[in-house]
Amino acid sequence: MARAVVMGRTDNVATVLADVALGQEVEVVDETGRSRGGVQAIDDIPFGHKIALRHVDEDRQVVKYGHTIGTATAVIRVGQHVDTHNLGSVRGRVERASQR
């Protein structure tokens, strides 16, 4: 079984610790290694990328490490690969705005 790590209680994504194949069950663990349950991958997900732990509606925040890392640009389903194809970075927009 593949594993993913989640760091914050409010996180709606976790980071996979190995390549994950479509349909594979992923055990989610916290930073202490304690199991937080599992989720079935609905996409192939490369090592180091994010898997959705909860449904995220379009234009809603994606949270990792207890902080907003971006906004969903489309509906994100549980078990889906979360990356630039469905996540808009808030950080880049904030940095560009502050440079004006």
Between CA 18 and CA 9 the distance in angstroms is 22
Q: Looking at residue 90, what is its pLDDT?
A: 75
Long-range pairs for 59-63: beta carbons < 8 A, 24 or more residues apart? 61/90, 62/12, 62/13, 62/87, 63/8, 63/10, 63/11, 63/12, 63/13
Multiple choice CATH, 2-98, 3.40.50.300, 1.10.132.50, 2.60.120.1440, 2.30.130.110: 2.30.130.110
pTM of the shown model: 0.88
Q: Looking at residue 93, what is its pLDDT?
A: 53
Residue 94 pLDDT > 80: no
Q: What is the mean pLDDT of residues 40-67?
A: 97
Q: Looking at residue 92, what is its pLDDT?
A: 57
Q: Looking at residue 95, what is its pLDDT?
A: 46
